[in-house]
Amino acid sequence: MRGLLAFASVLPVSLAAIVLRDVSDDARLEKPHQDALVERAAATCTGPTASKPSKYWLEEQDHTGDARGIALFTDNNDKYPVFRNVLDFGVANDGTGDQSGKLQDTINTDGNGGSRYKNGLTTRPAEVYLPGGTYQLSKVWDLRVGTIIVGDPNDPPVIKASANFDGDAVVNGYDFGVGAPETSFMTLLKNVVIDTTAIDKTKAVMALNWGVAQGAGMSNIKIVMPEDSTGHTGIVLKGGSTIAVTDVNIHGGAVGIQNSNQQVNFKNIYFNRSSTAYSATGGWTSLLQGVTFDTCGRGVDLTKEGNAGSLVLLDSKSTNSGPVIKFADSSNTNGDRNNQIVIENLEHDTTNPIAIKADDTVALEAADTIDTWVWGNADPGNYVTGTQYKTVRPDALLKDGKYFTKEAPTYGESASDQIVNVKSVADHPVKGDGKTDDAESLNAILLDNAANCKITYFPYGVYIVKDTVYIPPGSRIIGEAWAVVSGAGDRFKDASKPAAVIQVGKDGETGIAEVQDVRFTVSEVLPGAIILEVNMAGDAPGDVGFWNTIVTIGGTADTSIHESCTDQDTSSCKSAFLAVHLTKSSSSYFQNLWAWTADHNVDGGPNQIIATGRG
């Protein structure tokens, strides 16, 4: 569907599409032409075969043999476990005992007797897998940067605090070892339940402390707290600069989410029976999109005058709940007039007022629906105090009258025979060793997988590509621990003839292309590199989608840029032509995309001074 463009963060877009050569048809080898494979995928591939697998496909991949993920920049990497099934580390999932120590050891170990704590981000990546069951904890579980924690989506694991839990958070997403929360990058939590119901309901405790930064995210998370609690808080975002918190179900608690992060897109959050669903105690601006307040005492609390930040409540619903928003009126204060509010497209089903001030004065009476209501700057210099508007929305961005959103696919309905590990295809050897040019083999594998309705799995590695990697219609790609695909070589050095490192579809093509948990980058200074280019559109909204995808330029152990670009004159370090290019023929959905020209090294090294032509 052309015209669909949705972002968790906004990127500048420029430049005309480039022209790429087609892969030759080699009749002597009797291989099908690239275009024929793409046409076959478009005509016959309706997706991987669905079933009811007894195990999640991720658990059944090769995590110990030649096709496993390899951390290239750590000592004795043959012993370093990128993938960690917690059961293999002695953790019990039967709800008994205290699993705190063993869970912590699972995420911390470097496989060589040392720890990942304070010891690198991109040098020691990890993917921690929790099969279904209940994991009882008496102490906090500290997560680490550079880590994806994933549960079985068909049987989500429960991380349950014991009655004698000792600590202020059950799960701590902020990695103290990296310094400030604004540098706690790349921690992803998926398909997990956190349960605090055994803890005294009056005790001050957080289910999840999420003071994190870019590249961090969550998907398909449920938090269960006592319904009449006066002390439990579901998620606390204290400091940090994350991009998105998405697809979360919160039950009970005194507060569902407490936020003081710089800027966050809260998307698809369901609050049920929380005393206060969302409370802002700091930060700059927040977007609550697709939020439901179900039987909550109050939806949003913005009563911390001058410090609660500005908020947009978009495409949301309040049912059987108290006032939707309670706020400190900053209209008469000096300075920035913080605590500004926009409500757009709200459904409401009680006689309780929608918006009230901190002194309980009604600012917006009850109504079944609100189109748009503004308290704050409707436009620069025009501060309004409760003005209603009608907002015109482009049909191309809507589904059922709301801006389109889509949860990251888990492929939980697919058995392991529907997954192709790129390092296990005999006819097309792929190394991911940070040296070998994997472009030709990856292109062949991606074409075959699209034509045969298979899901492409990238175990962790650094996949060097000296030619454009073409992702055809029909592709579904998922990486382990943000597997790295890195452009290199002469193909990408000429700024007058820029070329795509990753090309998603071609001009005029339509179909499905799903990408998640992968990092795209350049291995050296490449003035002509367009790191990610999207040309294709979907037949339906979200068919072309990117979730928890990262584009980095410098700053990481896998690129020479982190050591070579130190001159104040950036003419010698034009590291890339463009980070992300969405051409005029494309239509894409982006959720939690981080595109970063590094301002510092995350794994040590000199100060960097990097130039990127365009975002």
Domains, in order of start, for the chain: 70-403 (2.160.20.10), 420-612 (2.160.20.10)
**Residue from 271, 237, 239 nearest 256 by CA:** 271
Tell me the pTM.
0.92
The predicted-structure confidence for 334-370, as pLDDT tens digits, reads as follows 655 667 899 999 999 999 999 999 999 999 999 999 9
pLDDT value at 26 more than 80: no
Burial 455-494 (b: 16+ CB within 10 A, else e): bbbbbbbbbbbbbbbbbbbbbbbbbbbbbbbbbbbebbbe
Mean pLDDT of the chain: 90
3-state secondary structure of 183: helix
Q: Given a cut of 60, is residue 87 above it in pLDDT?
A: yes
The yes-or-no verdict on residue 591 having pLDDT over 70 is yes
Residue 15: pLDDT above 70? Answer: no
pLDDT > 60? residue 20: no
pLDDT-based confidence at residue 1 (cuts at 50, 70, 90): very low
Neighbouring-strand partners of residue 160: 136, 195
Question: Which pLDDT score, from 0 to 100, does residue 222 have?
Answer: 98
Q: Who contacts 137 (Cβ-Cβ below 8 Å, separation ≥6)? A: 98, 99, 100, 103, 159, 160, 161, 162, 165, 170
pLDDT at position 41 is: 54
What pLDDT sits at residue 39?
60
Q: What is the pLDDT of residue 285?
A: 87
- Whether the predicted pLDDT of 167 surpasses 70: yes
Residues 371-386: what's their mean pLDDT? 90
Is the pLDDT reported for residue 283 higher than 70? yes
pLDDT tens-place string over residues 214-230: 999 999 999 999 999 99
